[in-house]
Copies of this chain bind each other. A is one copy, B any other.
Amino acid sequence: LISMLKKNQTIVNLLEKYREMSLLGKINAILQWDMNVNLPPKAAEGRVQQSAYLTELITQKWLDSEFRKLVEAEESYGPETVTKEETAMIRNIRHAGKFYWNVPMKLIIDFSEVTSRAFMVWQKAKAENRYADFLPHLRKVITLSREIAEKLGYKDNPYDALLDLYEPGFTTADCRTIFGTIQPELSKIIKKIKDSRDYKTESPLTDGKNKYPIETQKEFADLVIRKMNYDLEAGRMDISSHPFTETLGHFDIRITNRYKESDFRESLMGAMHETGHALYEQGVAEGYDGTPLDGGVSLGIHESQSRFWENQIGRSFDFSKFITPHLKKYYPTGLKNIADTDIYRLMNLVKPSFIRTEADEVTYNLHIALRFEIEESLINGRSNAKDLPEIWRQKMKEYIGVVPKTDREGILQDVHWSNGMFGYFPTYTLGNLYAAQFTKRMRSEIELEKNVEKGELKPILIWLRKNIHQYGSLYWPKELVKKVTGEELNPKYFLEYIKSKYSKIYSLK
Protein backbone atom coordinates (compact mmCIF):
# COMPACT_ATOMS: atom_id res chain seq x y z
CA LEU A 1 0.00 0.00 0.00
CA ILE A 2 2.68 2.43 1.08
CA SER A 3 4.28 2.18 -2.36
CA MET A 4 1.29 3.72 -4.05
CA LEU A 5 1.07 6.63 -1.65
CA LYS A 6 3.01 9.84 -2.07
CA LYS A 7 3.23 9.99 1.73
CA ASN A 8 0.71 12.79 1.68
CA GLN A 9 0.04 13.05 5.43
CA THR A 10 -3.63 13.99 5.04
CA ILE A 11 -4.21 10.84 3.03
CA VAL A 12 -2.22 8.66 5.40
CA ASN A 13 -4.39 9.91 8.27
CA LEU A 14 -7.55 9.47 6.26
CA LEU A 15 -6.68 5.89 5.33
CA GLU A 16 -5.80 5.11 8.91
CA LYS A 17 -9.37 6.00 9.87
CA TYR A 18 -10.82 4.30 6.83
CA ARG A 19 -9.03 1.09 7.74
CA GLU A 20 -11.09 0.86 10.93
CA MET A 21 -14.31 1.31 8.97
CA SER A 22 -13.18 -1.42 6.60
CA LEU A 23 -12.33 -3.76 9.48
CA LEU A 24 -15.73 -3.21 11.07
CA GLY A 25 -17.37 -3.86 7.69
CA LYS A 26 -15.57 -7.18 7.28
CA ILE A 27 -16.37 -8.13 10.87
CA ASN A 28 -20.01 -7.45 10.12
CA ALA A 29 -19.67 -9.67 7.04
CA ILE A 30 -18.52 -12.51 9.32
CA LEU A 31 -21.70 -12.04 11.37
CA GLN A 32 -23.84 -11.98 8.24
CA TRP A 33 -22.21 -15.05 6.73
CA ASP A 34 -22.62 -17.00 9.96
CA MET A 35 -26.23 -15.81 10.24
CA ASN A 36 -27.06 -17.24 6.82
CA VAL A 37 -25.10 -20.47 7.21
CA ASN A 38 -24.95 -21.50 10.86
CA LEU A 39 -27.26 -19.54 13.10
CA PRO A 40 -29.37 -21.51 15.61
CA PRO A 41 -33.00 -20.35 15.27
CA LYS A 42 -33.32 -18.73 18.69
CA ALA A 43 -30.17 -16.64 18.11
CA ALA A 44 -31.71 -14.53 15.33
CA GLU A 45 -32.85 -11.59 17.46
CA GLY A 46 -29.50 -11.38 19.28
CA ARG A 47 -27.55 -11.50 16.03
CA VAL A 48 -29.62 -8.66 14.59
CA GLN A 49 -28.65 -6.56 17.61
CA GLN A 50 -24.96 -7.43 17.28
CA SER A 51 -24.95 -6.53 13.62
CA ALA A 52 -26.93 -3.33 14.21
CA TYR A 53 -24.36 -2.29 16.79
CA LEU A 54 -21.55 -2.71 14.27
CA THR A 55 -23.53 -0.68 11.74
CA GLU A 56 -23.90 2.01 14.39
CA LEU A 57 -20.13 2.04 15.01
CA ILE A 58 -19.46 2.30 11.27
CA THR A 59 -21.97 5.16 10.91
CA GLN A 60 -20.34 6.99 13.82
CA LYS A 61 -17.02 6.77 12.03
CA TRP A 62 -18.46 8.15 8.80
CA LEU A 63 -19.96 11.04 10.74
CA ASP A 64 -16.82 11.69 12.80
CA SER A 65 -15.86 15.35 12.34
CA GLU A 66 -12.10 14.63 12.16
CA PHE A 67 -12.72 12.18 9.35
CA ARG A 68 -14.89 14.66 7.45
CA LYS A 69 -12.28 17.37 7.84
CA LEU A 70 -9.69 15.10 6.25
CA VAL A 71 -12.03 14.22 3.39
CA GLU A 72 -12.77 17.88 2.76
CA ALA A 73 -9.12 18.99 2.80
CA GLU A 74 -9.44 19.92 -0.90
CA GLU A 75 -6.06 21.58 -1.13
CA SER A 76 -4.32 18.29 -0.34
CA TYR A 77 -5.82 16.42 -3.25
CA GLY A 78 -4.55 18.29 -6.31
CA PRO A 79 -3.10 16.26 -9.18
CA GLU A 80 0.46 17.37 -8.31
CA THR A 81 0.30 16.00 -4.79
CA VAL A 82 -1.55 12.70 -5.18
CA THR A 83 -1.27 9.51 -7.24
CA LYS A 84 -3.96 8.00 -9.44
CA GLU A 85 -4.81 5.56 -6.63
CA GLU A 86 -5.09 8.32 -4.06
CA THR A 87 -7.42 10.32 -6.29
CA ALA A 88 -9.63 7.27 -6.71
CA MET A 89 -9.64 6.65 -2.96
CA ILE A 90 -10.87 10.17 -2.25
CA ARG A 91 -13.49 9.84 -4.98
CA ASN A 92 -14.74 6.55 -3.52
CA ILE A 93 -14.88 7.90 0.01
CA ARG A 94 -16.81 10.95 -1.15
CA HIS A 95 -19.18 8.76 -3.10
CA ALA A 96 -19.89 6.41 -0.19
CA GLY A 97 -19.96 9.29 2.28
CA LYS A 98 -22.69 11.13 0.39
CA PHE A 99 -25.26 8.85 1.94
CA TYR A 100 -24.06 9.39 5.52
CA TRP A 101 -23.46 13.12 5.16
CA ASN A 102 -26.48 14.18 3.11
CA VAL A 103 -29.23 12.03 4.50
CA PRO A 104 -30.30 13.15 7.99
CA MET A 105 -30.05 10.50 10.70
CA LYS A 106 -33.77 10.77 11.38
CA LEU A 107 -34.55 9.92 7.77
CA ILE A 108 -32.16 6.92 7.86
CA ILE A 109 -33.83 5.61 11.00
CA ASP A 110 -37.34 6.18 9.59
CA PHE A 111 -36.34 4.44 6.40
CA SER A 112 -34.89 1.49 8.31
CA GLU A 113 -38.05 1.13 10.40
CA VAL A 114 -40.44 1.54 7.47
CA THR A 115 -38.56 -0.97 5.33
CA SER A 116 -38.27 -3.50 8.17
CA ARG A 117 -42.02 -3.41 8.58
CA ALA A 118 -42.64 -3.36 4.83
CA PHE A 119 -40.44 -6.44 4.48
CA MET A 120 -42.44 -8.36 7.06
CA VAL A 121 -45.76 -7.31 5.55
CA TRP A 122 -44.49 -8.19 2.08
CA GLN A 123 -43.58 -11.74 3.16
CA LYS A 124 -47.09 -12.31 4.40
CA ALA A 125 -48.77 -10.46 1.54
CA LYS A 126 -46.85 -12.56 -0.98
CA ALA A 127 -47.72 -15.82 0.77
CA GLU A 128 -51.39 -14.81 0.85
CA ASN A 129 -51.40 -13.10 -2.54
CA ARG A 130 -52.77 -9.85 -1.09
CA TYR A 131 -51.24 -6.84 -2.79
CA ALA A 132 -53.67 -4.51 -1.03
CA ASP A 133 -52.03 -5.36 2.29
CA PHE A 134 -48.61 -4.41 0.99
CA LEU A 135 -49.73 -1.26 -0.82
CA PRO A 136 -49.74 1.24 2.08
CA HIS A 137 -46.27 0.09 3.15
CA LEU A 138 -44.93 0.28 -0.38
CA ARG A 139 -46.26 3.84 -0.59
CA LYS A 140 -44.32 4.80 2.52
CA VAL A 141 -41.15 3.23 1.17
CA ILE A 142 -41.57 5.15 -2.09
CA THR A 143 -42.11 8.43 -0.26
CA LEU A 144 -39.01 7.97 1.88
CA SER A 145 -36.93 6.81 -1.10
CA ARG A 146 -37.90 10.01 -2.90
CA GLU A 147 -36.89 12.05 0.14
CA ILE A 148 -33.54 10.25 0.25
CA ALA A 149 -33.03 10.95 -3.46
CA GLU A 150 -33.71 14.65 -2.81
CA LYS A 151 -31.17 14.71 0.01
CA LEU A 152 -28.57 12.88 -2.05
CA GLY A 153 -29.06 15.30 -4.93
CA TYR A 154 -29.12 14.73 -8.70
CA LYS A 155 -28.96 16.63 -11.95
CA ASP A 156 -31.91 15.47 -14.04
CA ASN A 157 -33.94 12.81 -12.32
CA PRO A 158 -34.34 11.81 -8.67
CA TYR A 159 -33.97 8.18 -9.79
CA ASP A 160 -30.39 9.07 -10.82
CA ALA A 161 -29.49 9.59 -7.17
CA LEU A 162 -30.67 6.07 -6.25
CA LEU A 163 -29.15 4.35 -9.27
CA ASP A 164 -25.82 5.98 -8.49
CA LEU A 165 -25.74 4.28 -5.07
CA TYR A 166 -25.44 0.92 -6.79
CA GLU A 167 -23.74 1.76 -10.10
CA PRO A 168 -21.62 4.91 -9.74
CA GLY A 169 -21.81 7.14 -12.77
CA PHE A 170 -24.89 5.58 -14.37
CA THR A 171 -28.01 7.63 -15.04
CA THR A 172 -31.64 7.15 -15.88
CA ALA A 173 -30.84 8.32 -19.40
CA ASP A 174 -28.25 5.53 -19.76
CA CYS A 175 -30.82 2.97 -18.65
CA ARG A 176 -33.44 4.34 -21.04
CA THR A 177 -31.05 3.94 -23.96
CA ILE A 178 -30.10 0.44 -22.93
CA PHE A 179 -33.56 -0.93 -22.23
CA GLY A 180 -34.97 0.97 -25.20
CA THR A 181 -32.50 -0.92 -27.40
CA ILE A 182 -32.69 -4.41 -25.99
CA GLN A 183 -36.34 -4.76 -25.03
CA PRO A 184 -37.87 -4.72 -28.56
CA GLU A 185 -35.14 -6.98 -29.91
CA LEU A 186 -35.41 -9.53 -27.14
CA SER A 187 -39.20 -9.55 -27.31
CA LYS A 188 -38.89 -10.31 -31.03
CA ILE A 189 -36.50 -13.20 -30.39
CA ILE A 190 -38.82 -14.71 -27.82
CA LYS A 191 -41.66 -14.69 -30.32
CA LYS A 192 -39.48 -16.41 -32.89
CA ILE A 193 -38.37 -19.06 -30.44
CA LYS A 194 -41.94 -19.77 -29.41
CA ASP A 195 -42.89 -20.17 -33.06
CA SER A 196 -39.89 -22.38 -33.86
CA ARG A 197 -40.19 -26.05 -34.64
CA ASP A 198 -37.72 -26.95 -31.85
CA TYR A 199 -39.52 -25.04 -29.10
CA LYS A 200 -39.67 -27.07 -25.90
CA THR A 201 -39.74 -25.76 -22.35
CA GLU A 202 -39.16 -28.95 -20.36
CA SER A 203 -36.83 -31.93 -20.48
CA PRO A 204 -37.47 -35.49 -19.28
CA LEU A 205 -34.03 -35.31 -17.63
CA THR A 206 -35.29 -32.91 -15.00
CA ASP A 207 -38.96 -33.85 -14.76
CA GLY A 208 -38.47 -35.25 -11.25
CA LYS A 209 -38.18 -38.91 -12.21
CA ASN A 210 -34.39 -38.77 -12.25
CA LYS A 211 -32.72 -38.23 -8.89
CA TYR A 212 -29.38 -36.45 -8.63
CA PRO A 213 -28.07 -37.24 -5.12
CA ILE A 214 -27.21 -34.11 -3.18
CA GLU A 215 -23.84 -35.44 -1.99
CA THR A 216 -22.90 -36.06 -5.62
CA GLN A 217 -24.03 -32.59 -6.61
CA LYS A 218 -21.76 -31.16 -3.92
CA GLU A 219 -18.82 -33.12 -5.25
CA PHE A 220 -19.63 -32.01 -8.77
CA ALA A 221 -19.85 -28.37 -7.76
CA ASP A 222 -16.54 -28.79 -5.97
CA LEU A 223 -14.95 -30.19 -9.13
CA VAL A 224 -16.20 -27.25 -11.19
CA ILE A 225 -15.19 -24.48 -8.80
CA ARG A 226 -11.71 -25.99 -8.53
CA LYS A 227 -11.51 -26.06 -12.33
CA MET A 228 -12.41 -22.36 -12.21
CA ASN A 229 -9.37 -21.87 -9.96
CA TYR A 230 -11.33 -20.60 -6.98
CA ASP A 231 -8.72 -20.57 -4.20
CA LEU A 232 -10.25 -22.79 -1.53
CA GLU A 233 -7.34 -22.03 0.78
CA ALA A 234 -8.84 -18.54 0.92
CA GLY A 235 -12.50 -19.46 0.67
CA ARG A 236 -15.08 -22.19 1.16
CA MET A 237 -18.46 -23.37 -0.12
CA ASP A 238 -21.35 -23.98 2.26
CA ILE A 239 -25.11 -24.32 2.06
CA SER A 240 -27.70 -21.59 2.54
CA SER A 241 -31.30 -21.07 1.49
CA HIS A 242 -30.26 -18.40 -1.04
CA PRO A 243 -26.78 -18.68 -2.56
CA PHE A 244 -24.49 -15.71 -1.93
CA THR A 245 -20.85 -14.61 -1.84
CA GLU A 246 -19.39 -12.81 1.16
CA THR A 247 -16.02 -11.16 1.71
CA LEU A 248 -15.02 -11.84 5.32
CA GLY A 249 -11.40 -10.85 4.77
CA HIS A 250 -8.98 -10.30 1.91
CA PHE A 251 -8.11 -14.00 2.03
CA ASP A 252 -11.52 -15.16 3.16
CA ILE A 253 -14.05 -14.98 0.33
CA ARG A 254 -16.79 -17.53 0.83
CA ILE A 255 -19.64 -18.76 -1.34
CA THR A 256 -22.79 -20.71 -0.60
CA ASN A 257 -24.91 -22.95 -2.77
CA ARG A 258 -28.17 -24.89 -2.63
CA TYR A 259 -29.24 -28.26 -3.92
CA LYS A 260 -32.40 -29.76 -5.44
CA GLU A 261 -32.46 -33.52 -5.87
CA SER A 262 -34.55 -33.45 -9.04
CA ASP A 263 -32.32 -31.08 -11.03
CA PHE A 264 -28.54 -30.86 -11.09
CA ARG A 265 -28.50 -27.57 -12.99
CA GLU A 266 -29.36 -25.20 -10.19
CA SER A 267 -26.42 -26.18 -7.98
CA LEU A 268 -24.04 -26.27 -10.95
CA MET A 269 -25.02 -22.82 -12.20
CA GLY A 270 -25.23 -21.51 -8.63
CA ALA A 271 -21.67 -22.64 -7.93
CA MET A 272 -20.37 -21.04 -11.13
CA HIS A 273 -22.29 -17.81 -10.55
CA GLU A 274 -21.09 -17.35 -6.96
CA THR A 275 -17.55 -18.42 -7.81
CA GLY A 276 -17.58 -15.71 -10.48
CA HIS A 277 -18.23 -13.17 -7.71
CA ALA A 278 -15.62 -14.80 -5.46
CA LEU A 279 -12.90 -14.83 -8.14
CA TYR A 280 -13.39 -11.09 -8.63
CA GLU A 281 -12.91 -10.42 -4.92
CA GLN A 282 -9.98 -12.85 -4.68
CA GLY A 283 -8.30 -11.08 -7.58
CA VAL A 284 -8.23 -7.56 -6.16
CA ALA A 285 -4.68 -6.30 -5.59
CA GLU A 286 -3.53 -7.28 -2.11
CA GLY A 287 -2.28 -3.75 -1.48
CA TYR A 288 -5.86 -2.47 -1.70
CA ASP A 289 -6.90 -4.47 1.36
CA GLY A 290 -8.57 -2.19 3.89
CA THR A 291 -8.56 0.85 1.56
CA PRO A 292 -11.40 2.45 -0.42
CA LEU A 293 -10.09 0.60 -3.51
CA ASP A 294 -10.81 -2.79 -1.97
CA GLY A 295 -13.49 -5.09 -3.40
CA GLY A 296 -15.49 -5.03 -6.61
CA VAL A 297 -16.34 -1.55 -7.91
CA SER A 298 -20.10 -1.84 -8.44
CA LEU A 299 -23.00 -4.25 -8.43
CA GLY A 300 -23.10 -4.24 -12.23
CA ILE A 301 -19.43 -5.09 -12.69
CA HIS A 302 -19.75 -7.71 -9.97
CA GLU A 303 -22.71 -9.23 -11.73
CA SER A 304 -20.74 -9.20 -14.98
CA GLN A 305 -18.26 -11.57 -13.37
CA SER A 306 -20.88 -13.97 -12.04
CA ARG A 307 -22.91 -13.91 -15.26
CA PHE A 308 -19.77 -14.31 -17.33
CA TRP A 309 -18.96 -17.62 -15.64
CA GLU A 310 -22.55 -18.75 -15.38
CA ASN A 311 -23.71 -17.85 -18.89
CA GLN A 312 -20.85 -17.02 -21.23
CA ILE A 313 -18.86 -20.02 -19.99
CA GLY A 314 -21.24 -22.34 -18.10
CA ARG A 315 -23.97 -22.27 -20.74
CA SER A 316 -21.62 -22.44 -23.74
CA PHE A 317 -21.45 -25.47 -26.02
CA ASP A 318 -17.74 -25.81 -25.31
CA PHE A 319 -18.39 -26.11 -21.61
CA SER A 320 -21.14 -28.66 -22.27
CA LYS A 321 -18.58 -30.66 -24.22
CA PHE A 322 -16.23 -30.47 -21.27
CA ILE A 323 -18.68 -31.45 -18.53
CA THR A 324 -20.75 -34.08 -20.33
CA PRO A 325 -18.30 -36.97 -19.67
CA HIS A 326 -18.06 -35.85 -16.03
CA LEU A 327 -21.83 -35.62 -15.70
CA LYS A 328 -22.18 -39.15 -17.09
CA LYS A 329 -19.68 -40.40 -14.55
CA TYR A 330 -21.21 -38.57 -11.59
CA TYR A 331 -24.85 -39.33 -12.46
CA PRO A 332 -24.68 -42.73 -14.17
CA THR A 333 -28.34 -43.54 -13.57
CA GLY A 334 -29.90 -40.41 -14.99
CA LEU A 335 -27.42 -39.34 -17.64
CA LYS A 336 -25.87 -42.58 -18.90
CA ASN A 337 -26.72 -42.11 -22.55
CA ILE A 338 -26.57 -38.35 -22.74
CA ALA A 339 -24.75 -36.45 -25.51
CA ASP A 340 -23.09 -33.06 -25.13
CA THR A 341 -25.71 -31.58 -27.45
CA ASP A 342 -28.42 -32.76 -25.05
CA ILE A 343 -26.67 -31.11 -22.12
CA TYR A 344 -26.22 -27.91 -24.11
CA ARG A 345 -29.93 -27.90 -24.95
CA LEU A 346 -30.85 -28.57 -21.35
CA MET A 347 -28.69 -25.71 -20.12
CA ASN A 348 -30.32 -23.31 -22.57
CA LEU A 349 -34.01 -24.11 -22.56
CA VAL A 350 -35.92 -20.91 -23.16
CA LYS A 351 -39.14 -20.67 -21.24
CA PRO A 352 -41.04 -17.40 -21.00
CA SER A 353 -42.21 -17.45 -17.40
CA PHE A 354 -43.47 -15.21 -14.63
CA ILE A 355 -40.54 -15.50 -12.26
CA ARG A 356 -37.38 -13.45 -12.81
CA THR A 357 -35.05 -15.67 -10.79
CA GLU A 358 -35.97 -18.69 -12.90
CA ALA A 359 -35.64 -16.85 -16.22
CA ASP A 360 -33.35 -17.92 -19.05
CA GLU A 361 -30.81 -15.63 -20.74
CA VAL A 362 -33.24 -14.41 -23.39
CA THR A 363 -36.13 -13.41 -21.16
CA TYR A 364 -34.13 -12.33 -18.09
CA ASN A 365 -33.49 -8.76 -19.11
CA LEU A 366 -37.10 -8.24 -20.09
CA HIS A 367 -38.04 -8.88 -16.48
CA ILE A 368 -35.56 -6.19 -15.55
CA ALA A 369 -36.77 -3.77 -18.23
CA LEU A 370 -40.27 -3.75 -16.81
CA ARG A 371 -38.98 -3.31 -13.26
CA PHE A 372 -36.78 -0.40 -14.30
CA GLU A 373 -39.66 1.34 -16.04
CA ILE A 374 -42.00 0.83 -13.12
CA GLU A 375 -39.62 1.98 -10.41
CA GLU A 376 -38.39 5.01 -12.33
CA SER A 377 -41.96 6.04 -12.90
CA LEU A 378 -42.86 5.47 -9.23
CA ILE A 379 -39.97 7.58 -7.97
CA ASN A 380 -41.02 10.37 -10.32
CA GLY A 381 -44.65 10.10 -9.30
CA ARG A 382 -45.85 9.32 -12.80
CA SER A 383 -47.45 6.03 -11.70
CA ASN A 384 -49.70 5.33 -8.80
CA ALA A 385 -48.67 2.34 -6.67
CA LYS A 386 -52.21 1.02 -6.62
CA ASP A 387 -52.12 0.52 -10.39
CA LEU A 388 -48.98 -1.63 -10.31
CA PRO A 389 -50.61 -5.06 -10.63
CA GLU A 390 -52.31 -3.98 -13.83
CA ILE A 391 -49.22 -2.22 -15.23
CA TRP A 392 -47.24 -5.37 -14.43
CA ARG A 393 -49.60 -7.62 -16.36
CA GLN A 394 -49.67 -5.32 -19.36
CA LYS A 395 -45.90 -5.11 -19.60
CA MET A 396 -45.43 -8.85 -19.06
CA LYS A 397 -47.80 -9.49 -21.91
CA GLU A 398 -46.11 -7.00 -24.16
CA TYR A 399 -42.50 -7.94 -23.38
CA ILE A 400 -42.53 -11.65 -22.61
CA GLY A 401 -45.90 -12.78 -23.88
CA VAL A 402 -47.16 -14.32 -20.66
CA VAL A 403 -49.48 -12.92 -17.98
CA PRO A 404 -49.29 -14.08 -14.37
CA LYS A 405 -52.63 -15.04 -12.87
CA THR A 406 -51.68 -13.94 -9.36
CA ASP A 407 -49.83 -10.97 -7.87
CA ARG A 408 -47.66 -13.46 -6.00
CA GLU A 409 -46.21 -14.41 -9.38
CA GLY A 410 -46.33 -10.80 -10.48
CA ILE A 411 -45.81 -7.56 -8.62
CA LEU A 412 -45.23 -9.31 -5.27
CA GLN A 413 -42.50 -11.73 -6.41
CA ASP A 414 -39.35 -9.77 -5.53
CA VAL A 415 -38.09 -8.69 -2.13
CA HIS A 416 -36.25 -5.56 -3.37
CA TRP A 417 -38.94 -2.89 -3.15
CA SER A 418 -40.01 -3.89 0.34
CA ASN A 419 -36.40 -3.23 1.33
CA GLY A 420 -36.40 0.10 -0.46
CA MET A 421 -33.81 -0.98 -3.01
CA PHE A 422 -34.99 1.21 -5.87
CA GLY A 423 -32.22 1.52 -8.45
CA TYR A 424 -30.83 -1.94 -7.84
CA PHE A 425 -32.59 -3.96 -10.57
CA PRO A 426 -30.85 -2.35 -13.59
CA THR A 427 -27.47 -3.59 -12.33
CA TYR A 428 -28.51 -7.16 -13.18
CA THR A 429 -28.90 -6.20 -16.83
CA LEU A 430 -25.74 -4.12 -16.79
CA GLY A 431 -23.95 -7.25 -15.59
CA ASN A 432 -25.23 -9.25 -18.54
CA LEU A 433 -24.26 -6.54 -21.02
CA TYR A 434 -20.80 -5.97 -19.57
CA ALA A 435 -20.21 -9.73 -19.59
CA ALA A 436 -21.03 -10.01 -23.30
CA GLN A 437 -18.82 -7.06 -24.19
CA PHE A 438 -15.92 -8.35 -22.06
CA THR A 439 -16.26 -11.81 -23.63
CA LYS A 440 -16.11 -10.38 -27.13
CA ARG A 441 -12.85 -8.70 -26.22
CA MET A 442 -11.48 -11.75 -24.45
CA ARG A 443 -12.15 -13.89 -27.53
CA SER A 444 -9.94 -11.62 -29.57
CA GLU A 445 -7.07 -12.19 -27.16
CA ILE A 446 -7.29 -15.82 -26.01
CA GLU A 447 -8.45 -19.09 -27.52
CA LEU A 448 -11.66 -19.40 -25.61
CA GLU A 449 -13.35 -22.42 -27.26
CA LYS A 450 -10.36 -24.72 -27.28
CA ASN A 451 -9.54 -24.04 -23.64
CA VAL A 452 -13.09 -24.30 -22.33
CA GLU A 453 -13.69 -27.55 -24.19
CA LYS A 454 -10.71 -29.03 -22.34
CA GLY A 455 -11.77 -27.53 -19.02
CA GLU A 456 -8.63 -25.43 -19.13
CA LEU A 457 -10.01 -22.28 -17.49
CA LYS A 458 -6.83 -20.76 -16.12
CA PRO A 459 -6.14 -18.49 -19.14
CA ILE A 460 -9.61 -16.98 -18.67
CA LEU A 461 -8.94 -16.18 -15.05
CA ILE A 462 -5.56 -14.69 -15.91
CA TRP A 463 -7.25 -12.43 -18.46
CA LEU A 464 -9.92 -11.35 -15.97
CA ARG A 465 -7.33 -10.74 -13.28
CA LYS A 466 -5.20 -8.62 -15.57
CA ASN A 467 -8.02 -6.60 -17.12
CA ILE A 468 -10.62 -6.34 -14.35
CA HIS A 469 -10.08 -8.03 -10.98
CA GLN A 470 -6.78 -6.52 -9.90
CA TYR A 471 -8.16 -2.99 -10.13
CA GLY A 472 -10.77 -3.47 -7.43
CA SER A 473 -12.58 -0.15 -7.17
CA LEU A 474 -9.88 1.90 -8.89
CA TYR A 475 -11.91 2.54 -12.06
CA TRP A 476 -15.60 3.27 -12.03
CA PRO A 477 -17.74 1.10 -14.35
CA LYS A 478 -17.76 3.43 -17.35
CA GLU A 479 -14.00 3.98 -17.19
CA LEU A 480 -13.37 0.29 -16.70
CA VAL A 481 -15.45 -0.82 -19.67
CA LYS A 482 -13.64 1.64 -21.87
CA LYS A 483 -10.26 0.56 -20.57
CA VAL A 484 -11.01 -3.13 -21.04
CA THR A 485 -12.84 -3.04 -24.38
CA GLY A 486 -11.72 0.22 -25.90
CA GLU A 487 -15.25 1.60 -26.12
CA GLU A 488 -18.26 2.52 -24.04
CA LEU A 489 -20.84 0.01 -22.91
CA ASN A 490 -22.76 -1.03 -26.01
CA PRO A 491 -25.79 -3.34 -25.77
CA LYS A 492 -25.20 -4.60 -29.29
CA TYR A 493 -22.65 -7.16 -28.05
CA PHE A 494 -25.21 -8.76 -25.82
CA LEU A 495 -27.83 -8.77 -28.58
CA GLU A 496 -25.36 -10.27 -31.05
CA TYR A 497 -24.48 -12.96 -28.55
CA ILE A 498 -28.11 -13.86 -27.89
CA LYS A 499 -29.10 -13.82 -31.55
CA SER A 500 -26.19 -15.91 -32.70
CA LYS A 501 -26.49 -18.47 -29.89
CA TYR A 502 -30.25 -18.97 -29.90
CA SER A 503 -30.63 -18.82 -33.66
CA LYS A 504 -28.48 -21.92 -33.78
CA ILE A 505 -30.15 -23.71 -30.91
CA TYR A 506 -33.67 -23.08 -32.20
CA SER A 507 -32.82 -23.00 -35.94
CA LEU A 508 -34.25 -19.49 -36.26
CA LYS A 509 -34.11 -17.53 -39.49
Known: A20-B53, A23-B53. A46 touches B233 (CB 8 A): no
Q: Per-position contact with B for A276-290: 1 when CB-CB < 8 Å, else 0?
A: 000000000000010
| Beta-carbon contact of A42 and B251 below 8 Å | yes
User: Does more than half of chain A's interface fall in helix, strand or loop, or is it mixed?
Assistant: helix
| Beta-carbon contact of A34 and B30 below 8 Å | yes
| Beta-carbon contact of B31 and A27 below 8 Å | yes
| Beta-carbon contact of B40 and A27 below 8 Å | no
| Beta-carbon contact of B53 and A251 below 8 Å | no
Give Cα distance in the complex from A45 to B290, angstroms: 14
Contacts of A23 in B (CB 8 A): 49-50, 53
Contacts of A40 in B (CB 8 A): 232-236, 251-252, 254
A126 to chain B, nearest CB (A): 26
Known: A20-B53, A249-B47. A234 touches B27 (CB 8 A): no
Interface size counted on chain A using CB atoms at 8 A:
35
Give Cα distance in the complex from A236 to B45, angstroms: 17
| Beta-carbon contact of A27 and B42 below 8 Å | no
Interface residues of A in 12-65 (CB under 8 A from B): 20, 23-24, 26-27, 30-31, 34, 38-43, 45-47, 49-50, 53-54, 57
Most B C-beta atoms less than 10 A away, residue of A43, A231, A254: A43
Give Cα distance in the complex from A34 to B311, angstroms: 33
User: Does chain B have a CB within 8 A of A250?
Assistant: yes
A327 to chain B, nearest CB (A): 27
Q: Per-position contact with B for A105-142: 1 when CB-CB < 8 Å, else 0?
A: 00000000000000000000000000000000000000
| Beta-carbon contact of B26 and A50 below 8 Å | yes
Q: Per-position contact with B for A388-402: 1 when CB-CB < 8 Å, else 0?
A: 000000000000000
| Beta-carbon contact of A234 and B42 below 8 Å | yes
User: Does chain B have a CB within 8 A of A248?
Assistant: yes
Known: A27-B31, A30-B30. A252 touches B54 (CB 8 A): no
Give Cα distance in the complex from A42 to B236, angstroms: 11
Instruction: Select A252's contact among B27, B39, B236, B251, beta carbons within 8 Å.
Output: B39
Give Cα distance in the complex from A438 to B23, angstroms: 45
Contacts of A46 in B (CB 8 A): 26, 249-252, 289
| Beta-carbon contact of B252 and A41 below 8 Å | no
A238 to chain B, nearest CB (A): 8
Contacts of A31 in B (CB 8 A): 27, 30
Interface residues of A in 212-243 (CB under 8 A from B): 231-236
Sample of 19 A–B contacts (CB below 8 Å): A23-B50, A27-B27, A27-B53, A27-B54, A30-B31, A30-B34, A34-B34, A38-B236, A40-B235, A40-B252, A42-B233, A42-B252, A43-B234, A43-B251, A46-B251, A46-B252, A47-B249, A50-B249, A57-B57
Q: 13 other contacts beyond A23-B49, A30-B30, with CB at 8 A cut-off?
A: A24-B53, A27-B54, A30-B31, A38-B236, A40-B232, A40-B233, A40-B235, A40-B236, A41-B233, A42-B231, A42-B234, A43-B251, A46-B252
A-B complex: 3 closest residue pairs judged by Cβ atoms: A43-B252, A46-B249, A42-B251
